[in-house]
Chains A and B, each alone.
Chain A
Amino acid sequence: MDLRLDVSQRGEWSIVEVGGEIDVATAPRLREQLIALVSEGHHRIVVSLEAVDFIDSTGLGVLISGLKRVRTHDGAFAVVCSEPRILKVFEITGLDTVFNVAPTLDDALASEG
């Protein structure tokens, strides 16, 4: 299954727009992208899941890893998600209380992460 990653910069935020399905087969690419951004000095990261059709525990684990990496640099990490089916996965795992989950990209960029 395909995973699309589109990285852009807006101000001090790096934006990773993800599309497709995040599972055990595709999550490593997202993990590598987040590692690369942090190692390049980008410590304020927004991951947009607006074009994501599916996410499982492997994908959530990669986001946890990303959050941990930016926190070690006193950075910020936000997730954009408004799709109820994806939001539900955050809610039932309790991760909606761990991540800054914003309904729009603008909301995420306006947040402190």
Chain B
Amino acid sequence: MHAAPDPEVVELALPARPEVVSVARLVVGAIVASDPLFDDERGADLRLAVSEACTNAIQAQLAADERTAVPPVGLPILMRCTVGVGCIDVVVTDHAGGFDPSTLVPHPEVTDPARLEYEGGLGIPLLRMLTDHVEFRPTGDGTEVRMRFEPHGDPVRG
């Protein structure tokens, strides 16, 4: 972790290991807890969404490392958290070669018994539900997930 030039920005470079997702949660949890506009429930939304984004990035990075190099390249996952006026933006970037969520084959609805065939597939829908805005952008060698959280914009809470 290193301090960014702007005091309102926190950046983390995380090794692509599952154990570090809890570190990302701790950091964003501390950031959101210090913003009085965000209540505990919204803070929990933010922690979960960032955890999902970091999990996706790490799993993609680990898969890419297995495909492309021996020993693995081991590029870090980057998380950049910006506290703005009335919002918190979080960007999670990997170097895993790219990911297009529009190409995902939708799983059956959770109420469909066939859904039990799929253990995964809940992360991206959770990201969409917990954020006020989420965008998946290709970078040169990976994917950037840009998330915006607003204090009163929780669409789930209505």
Give the B-binding residues of A (Cβ under 8 A): 1, 21, 23-25, 54, 56-58, 60-62, 64-65, 67-68, 71, 85, 88-89, 92-95, 97-98
Asked whether B44 lies within 8 Å of A92 as measured between CB atoms, the reply is no
CB-CB nearest in chain B for A68: B116
Contacting A at CB under 8 A, from B111-143, are 111, 115-120, 122-123, 125-126, 129-130
Q: Could you say which residues of chain A place their CB within 8 Å of the CB of B51?
A: 23, 54, 56
Give the A-binding residues of B (Cβ under 8 A): 18-19, 21-22, 25, 40-41, 44, 47-48, 51-52, 55, 58-59, 109-111, 115-120, 122-123, 125-126, 129-130, 156
CA A62 to CA B122, docked complex, whole Å? 12
CB-CB nearest in chain A for B18: A25
CA A56 to CA B56, docked complex, whole Å? 12
Asked whether B119 lies within 8 Å of A23 as measured between CB atoms, the reply is no
Asked whether B47 lies within 8 Å of A54 as measured between CB atoms, the reply is yes
CA A1 to CA B47, docked complex, whole Å? 15
Asked whether A93 lies within 8 Å of B122 as measured between CB atoms, the reply is yes
Q: Could you say which residues of chain A place their CB within 8 Å of the CB of B18?
A: 23-25
Other A-B pairs, 12, CB within 8 Å; known A23-B55, A64-B116, A68-B117: A1-B19, A21-B22, A54-B51, A56-B55, A58-B55, A65-B119, A89-B48, A93-B122, A93-B126, A95-B110, A97-B110, A98-B115
Asked whether B116 lies within 8 Å of A71 as measured between CB atoms, the reply is yes
Closest CB in chain B relative to A71 CB, distance in Å? 7
Asked whether B110 lies within 8 Å of A25 as measured between CB atoms, the reply is no
Asked whether B25 lies within 8 Å of A54 as measured between CB atoms, the reply is yes
CA A6 to CA B10, docked complex, whole Å? 38
Asked whether B59 lies within 8 Å of A24 as measured between CB atoms, the reply is yes
Closest CB in chain A relative to B58 CB, distance in Å? 7
Q: Could you say which residues of chain A place their CB within 8 Å of the CB of B123?
A: 56-58
Asked whether A92 lies within 8 Å of B22 as measured between CB atoms, the reply is no
Asked whether B21 lies within 8 Å of A25 as measured between CB atoms, the reply is yes
CA A1 to CA B22, docked complex, whole Å? 6
Can you report 28 A-B residue pairs in the complex whose CB atoms are below 8 A from each other?
Answer: A1-B19, A21-B22, A23-B18, A23-B22, A23-B25, A23-B55, A24-B21, A25-B22, A56-B48, A56-B52, A56-B55, A56-B126, A58-B123, A61-B119, A61-B120, A64-B115, A64-B118, A64-B119, A67-B116, A68-B116, A85-B44, A88-B156, A89-B48, A89-B126, A92-B130, A92-B156, A94-B110, A97-B111
